[in-house]
Structure 1
Amino acid sequence: MMNPTITIIIATYNRASFILNMLKTIRAQTFKSWECIIVDDGGTDNTEEVISNILKEDNRFKYLKRPNNYKKGLCGSRNYGLDIAKGDYIVFFDDDDLVHPKILEITQNINVKHNVDFCHYQKQSFVNDIPEFQNTKTEIIGNINTDNIEAVVTGKIGLASCTVLWRKECFKSCRFNEDLQYAEEWECYIKIISNGFKGIIINNVLYYNRKHQNSNTGEFWSNNPKRVNSKKEAIYLVLKSIKNNQLLSKNIENYLVNQSIHFRDFKFFKKIISESNMSLKEGNARTIKYYLFPFWIIEQKLKRGLKKSNV
């Protein structure tokens, strides 16, 4: 296919046991004008062998190794996919998940009909049992733009990595930060919205993500230094991006500063305070809060303990 409408980008790493199931759900799409770029991030298993038949049978699938001029990791693999994508629209899928057979048809129709830059759909988690694909009437349940970017920053609107179909233009001046190993999508997508791109939220569950014990999120909450440091850097980059685009509201500022307090890293906390628009008085008040935070944690634990004992 010379000019596919949609480019699907899948970064893969040692997922030979799962990836074929994802590719089969892509091949079953009702919307046919797509290419799927599979970028191997240096895996050592037999992924290429496992998917060899589907590569031969359907030339819309392309299996490539990440070049060394892109950094190892999800971001480098996705950036490589973006740089060679031929489609007018971009969507990222993970190698161990599944997609609804109408995911491309529904989201593409929304983008064209409403002339928006991206369409955000819903996801559903599963562990072992393959979920049933539900056919629901498409309903627009919200908009995403600079007016409600606060909801994206705080997570009230959760733009997960694989739940958005984007116009390719969204990535013309935005790429994934290849130094980040966690919260990279959050940072990148906020940057895109900060630049004025607009989207629609629909009610359809179109993506099915497989739950793992050893996920990046699980490692973050287990205080893996690589994930924790990445989240801190992402917070700083988000603050900087929103500030540069003159979108830094008090609510966003307070949220990001409060996030920095939780890491118990005074150097990082002061870096966020310095980048914010807080006055000296406000900064001093947050510094006091920083030092009192451990006592607040103890107080909250005591309150929870009292509630349980009274039940």
Structure 2
Amino acid sequence: MTRLPLVSVIIPSFNRATLIPETLRSVLDQTYRNWECIVVDDGSTDGSQEIIKSFAVKDDRIQFVSRQRDPKGAPTCRNIALVDFAKGEYVVFLDSDDVLSPTCLELRVKHFRDNKSEDLLVFKTAYFSINPGDQENQWFHVKDNDHLTSFLTTSAWGTTSPMWKRLKLIELGGFREGLSSWQDWELHVRVIALGLRVTVVDIEDNYVRRGNTDNINLKANNEAHLTSRLHMLTNIIALLKQQACINEQRRQLLVGLVVAILSHTDAPETQQQATNVLADLSVSETEMRFVTKYLSMRKKIRVLSQRNMASRLLRRLFAIAIPIRYLSHA
């Protein structure tokens, strides 16, 4: 009989008492049975720890782990499970408010058997609001099979999309701990830049919840998140330069990511750091004049209104008036 490889499903959790039962049930409902599920709690205070433990009592494939070291955050929780607890040949990361389709693990293992030389396989993600399948929009944005350029344009795929070879991911260093946002974006750009072997499979097999008021994206433009993102971008740009991955199109897209940070911050230190990054990206005087003009208008729009329809329209009209591709990020 062919040995079925063990799959480790890793879930970081913080105050998700009302949502994590559905997430865990989606793991329990898998048609593929040889899995372990490691839930690392990040200091919950809403009773979700007891809920997770109750699932673990009923099925010993579920493990409850409490984070015992700093820094706080999902990247640390994922790495704790990955390095200290997971035993699977393959790893899937699942957020505590999202769900897997019943055949997710079965089909992923099957496709890995057909692509044994790959380091990770990427599957497509759908959004949902109440029940999986109740929205048509999909989270998968890869153009012309250019994974790196796609990620510099947007977040091409999410945390749960890949299935990883566990040892390869450990060798890579896992998630960057301490990042307050864009954690999966950083990891995916890093693995692509380092040349890991990636294959995309045209199967939609996991669902990301929309409408959750605790979603990290709602907090992504506060100053701490902007500072964290800028530091991360600085490191990513250094890596892309080292790996000779930056062409003119990608340079412009990277400039756009920095301009997006500048458009949301009023902190002089962050502004200076971002300006230094732009200089490192060889922004010309002409480009810088456009950027300065754009940021001035963006600041006026922010003062007039906090993201109402009029301000969005003004922003789009102004962006059209400035023929620089990278301003679309801001």
Q: Report the 3-state secondary structure (helix = DSSP H, G, I; strand = E; otherwise coil) of the residue aligned with 1:200.
A: strand
TM-score by length of 2: 0.78
Equivalent residue number for residue 270 of structure 1: 275
TM-score by length of 1: 0.83
| Contact 2:90 2:163 (8 Å CA) reproduced | yes
Residues 303/61 of structure 1: CA separation in 2 closer, same or farther (3 Å cut)? closer
| Contact 2:83 2:170 (8 Å CA) reproduced | no
Q: CA deviation at 1:148?
A: 4.1
Structure ranking higher on relative contact order (CA contacts 8 Å, 6+ apart):
1
Q: 1:111-260 counterparts in 2 under 5 A?
A: 111-115=112-116, 116-131=118-133, 148-155=147-154, 158-168=156-166, 169-211=168-210, 212-220=212-220, 223-260=221-258
Q: 1:39-54 counterparts in 2 under 5 A?
A: 39-54=40-55
| Contact 1:4 1:87 (8 Å CA) reproduced | yes
Code of the aligned partner of 2:126: Q
Equivalent residue number for residue 137 of structure 1: none
Q: Report the 3-state secondary structure (helix = DSSP H, G, I; strand = E; otherwise coil) of the residue aligned with 2:32.
A: coil
Equivalent residue number for residue 77 of structure 1: 77
Consecutive unaligned residues of structure 1, counting only runs of 5 or more, are 135-140, 306-311
CA distance in 2, matches of 1:83, 1:28: 26
Q: Residue 314 of structure 2 is aligned with which of 298, 301, 305?
A: 301
Equivalent residue number for residue 60 of structure 1: 61
Residues 143/21 of structure 1: CA separation in 2 closer, same or farther (3 Å cut)? farther
| Contact 1:174 1:191 (8 Å CA) reproduced | no
CA distance in 2, matches of 1:252, 1:131: 34
CA distance in 1, matches of 2:178, 2:292: 30
Equivalent residue number for residue 94 of structure 1: 95
| Contact 1:170 1:197 (8 Å CA) reproduced | no
CA distance in 2, matches of 1:100, 1:133: 14
| Contact 1:91 1:164 (8 Å CA) reproduced | yes
How many pairs does the alignment contain?
Answer: 288
Q: CA deviation at 1:290?
A: 2.5
| Contact 1:111 1:119 (8 Å CA) reproduced | yes
Consecutive unaligned residues of structure 2, counting only runs of 5 or more, are 137-141, 263-269, 302-310, 319-330
Q: Report the 3-state secondary structure (helix = DSSP H, G, I; strand = E; otherwise coil) of the residue aligned with 1:263.
A: helix
CA distance in 2, matches of 1:295, 1:227: 22
Q: CA deviation at 1:63?
A: 0.2
| Contact 1:153 1:252 (8 Å CA) reproduced | yes
CA distance in 2, matches of 1:153, 1:304: 23
CA distance in 1, matches of 2:288, 2:134: 50
CA distance in 1, matches of 2:213, 2:273: 29
Code of the aligned partner of 1:187: E
| Contact 1:182 1:216 (8 Å CA) reproduced | yes
Code of the aligned partner of 1:123: T
| Contact 1:142 1:202 (8 Å CA) reproduced | no
Equivalent residue number for residue 16 of structure 1: 17
Residues 191/29 of structure 1: CA separation in 2 closer, same or farther (3 Å cut)? same
Q: Report the 3-state secondary structure (helix = DSSP H, G, I; strand = E; otherwise coil) of the residue aligned with 1:176.
A: coil
| Contact 2:147 2:156 (8 Å CA) reproduced | no
The range that moved more, 287-296 or 191-200, is: 287-296
1:11-33 C-alpha deviation (Å, 9 max, x unpaired): 00111111111111101111122
Code of the aligned partner of 1:287: M
CA distance in 1, matches of 2:253, 2:53: 47
